[in-house]
Structures are given as C-alpha cells and as structure tokens.
Amino acid sequence: MSLVLLTILVLLASISPLLTFAALWQLKEWRWDRLREHLRETGWLQLIGKVRPLLLLLVFFGVPITLTALTLLNVTQILLKKQRYPVWTTKALVLTTTSLCITALLPYSLLSITDYLLVFLPLFQPLTLALALVLWKPIDHYLKQRILSRAKHLRSQFPHLTVIGITGSVGKTTTKELLTHLLQDLHPIVTPEHVNTELGVAQWLIQVLKNDAAQDRILIVEMGAYRKGEIKTLCASTQPTIGIITYIGKQHLGLFGSQKNLCDAKGELFEALPSSGHAFLGADSPYIEELKQKCQYPCHIIEKKTQLKNPHFNADLPAAVAKHLGVSDEDIQKHLKTFSLPQKTFTIREENGITVLDDTHN
C-alpha cells in the first residue's frame, strides 16, 4: 500500500483517541497538573478504551487491516454517539489540527524503521496533542497575558465599582447564585456558569466593562483555583472590594499538597481586598484565625443558622453580604423562600424507586 494511503488510514484511526483526549484535557483547562491528578486517580486506559489494544493483535494480518479495523471502531463510536468531543474553541481547533499534522508527518519517519509502528500511532495521540500544546505555549502565554492586562486596565477605570469575590473549596456556585437572588433588586452582574478561571473571568470582565452602565452595578465573581497565585491573579484583574470564603475543605489536595497550602491560596482573596474592604467567612470553616490575620479591615464570621436543602451550604454567608449592601431583613427572608438550588448542586430526585443525590454540577 502506498505511503499516502497508509497516512490517511493512520489519521482516520487517530481521530477518536485524539478527540477523547482533547475533550478531557480541555475539561481540565489544558493544565498539566490537573490532567496528571485526574489520570493518577482514573488511569490511562480511559483515553484509548479497552477494544483498541485488542485490535492491535490484527497486526499479524497486516498493517492496513489493523488500521482499517481501528478506523471502523472510530466510525462505530461516532455513529452510536459514544464519541466525546471538545468544545470547538479556537484553542481546541488549533491544537487538534496541529496534533493531526504531527501524526501525518510521523509515517514518513517510521516507515524507514518498520511499518508495524504505524498501528501504534492512534494510541499515542495524547503525546502528539501534548507536543502541539508545547509548540503553541509561547503564543498562548502571550495572548493570555494580553487579555489579563486589558481586563486589569479596564477595571482600573471604574474605581468605585463594587466587586464581590467568592472562593472556597465548596459552595462557590451556590453562594453566587443565592447572593444574586438576594440582590435581585440591585440587578447585579454575575460571572456565567462554569466561568471562574483567570482567563475566563478576564474575558467576561472585558465584555462587561465595555458598557459604561456597569459602573452603577454590583459585580459578583466566582473564583476558582488549583494552586497558589491563581486567586491573586484573578484579584489583580477584578480588584474585589468584598470577599467571601465559603469553606476550606480537602478538595484538590493532590494539587495543593496540603490543606494549609489550600488555605493560603484561597486566602489570597482576603489579602487583595482594599483597606475599605469587608471579608465574610463561614464560622464552620477551618483556619479561621489564619484567614482573619490576612484582613486589615472588618472580617465577619458568619454562623450557619438558615437551613436549605443542601445541608453543607451556609446560606447565612450571602445573606450577611446582602444585608451589608443594604438589603432589608424582610426582603432577605422573602427572597430566601423563593430560592431554588442550581441544578445538580445537591439536587434530590427519585428514579425507579431510588433516591438520587445529584451533586455533579462541577
């Protein structure tokens, strides 16, 4: 078989493993540390499946037959709608295209050794995608820094803007949603669902601050982090005036190394607040004293008294912030009665006689 046809078969056989890995890595924000932690917990087999390694045994019948079988497996997955896809952002499109280009070039090198190596190329798509990410890293870093700088510059033009930063190990989204509900009469502007990273928040902030009307609104920003310095970067862009830390738990300890490191990372929010700022912290959270020491302004420790359907959520935290911003106790109680937890945040439902507690929002 000609080299061109073999290359086409290699590319067709590689598409499904590449898409699967790209979807996973995009979910982990194209981060090496989050990907490493995920694979450490779940293993590599999920990236290639259980069938592909078995199909490699067909190599004894010839390389073209093996590559054709792998291609048919890909087609079957796609037709049965079992194939995972990344969200087709510019970054995902560039990286997957570059990865396929690298894959297309490899047969020319491997054939000088043996054509049997070609059947392994579909299984090595994680490596070609990783190489693509490394090749584009300098440009990616430059574009990211430009966006962060622009967001910071725009934010500095609104010195009197009220910005509420929310972080913590758990409960960030629910706190954000309830606070938005309690402040509904003030029409706050809120980060969209699943937007809580440095780049995502910066891009959102740029869009918001293009509108001069934003200076009269309250901004509520959910802030996620997986290592030290990320909350600090988020705060450099958004410049929060009020900070909420929901809880310091043990989530993502594999990334932070220790609960103390996690506390220090989340505490960067309190360190970034101005002298006129206000900090709000749940009374049930560990490291209260350490977090209070980061505050050069009032730090409000809030006891959990109000019970919602989620027993782990401190509804009194956003209620205290709403009261601080001028919402009356009467309105707070009225709005609490009409609040519904976001979907898949400790949602309780019945399926076939089984009670399901769905907390898969994140």
In this structure, of 33-47, 55-69, 92-106, 232-246, the range with the lowest mean pLDDT score is 55-69
Between CA 177 and CA 183 the distance in angstroms is: 10
The two beta strands, 242-245 and 162-167, are parallel
Q: Most distant CA pair in the chain: distance in Å? A: 79
Half-sphere exposure of 57 (CA within 13 A, CB side): 5
pLDDT at 310: 54
pLDDT above 90 (res 275) = yes
Domain ranges within the chain, ordered by starting residue: 3-139, 157-358
- DSSP letters of 112-130? TT-GGGGGGGGGGHHHHHH
User: In the chain, pLDDT over 90 holds for what percent of residues?
Assistant: 49
What's phi and psi for 114, nearest 5 deg?
-165, 145
pLDDT at 147 over 80: yes
pLDDT of residue 176: 94
Q: Residue 307 has what pLDDT?
A: 63
Q: Which of 236, 253, 303 is nearest to 37 (CA)?
A: 253
Per residue in 298-319, pLDDT (tens digit) is: 999 998 776 665 555 678 899 9
Number of Cβ within 10 Å of residue 19's Cβ equals 20
248: nearest Cα among 158, 156, 171, 342: 171
The lowest-confidence range among 113-122, 172-181, 210-219, 294-303 is 113-122
Which pLDDT score, from 0 to 100, does residue 352 have?
87
Residue of higher predicted confidence among 78 and 250: 78
pLDDT score of 192 = 93
- 1 pLDDT higher than 60: no
Contact 53, 123 (CB under 8 A): yes
Question: What's the pLDDT at 68?
Answer: 83
- CA atoms of 331 and 322, how far apart (whole Å): 10
Question: Would you state the pLDDT for residue 259?
Answer: 82
Tell me if 158 sits within 8 A of 215, measured CB to CB.
yes
pLDDT attached to residue 20: 92
Expressed in angstroms, the distance from the first to the final Cα of the chain is 48
Average pLDDT over residues 172-187: 93
Of the candidates 190, 194, 170, the residue with the CA atom closest to the CA atom of residue 182: 190
User: Is 35 in contact with 57 (CB distance < 8 Å)?
Assistant: no
pTM of the predicted model, to two decimals? 0.82
User: What CATH class is the domain 157-358?
Assistant: alpha beta
At residue 87 the predicted structure's pLDDT band, cuts being 50, 70 and 90, is very high
Band of residue 349 on the pLDDT scale cut at 50, 70, 90: confident
- For the chain, strand residue ranges (E) read 162-167, 189-190, 218-222, 242-245, 278-282, 299-302, 347-351, 354-358
Stretch 75-81: mean pLDDT: 89
Please count the residues of the chain. 362
pLDDT at 180 over 90: yes
Give the closest residue to 230 by CA, choosing from 260, 261, 193, 251: 261
The 10s digit of each residue's pLDDT in 26-35 is 999 899 988 9
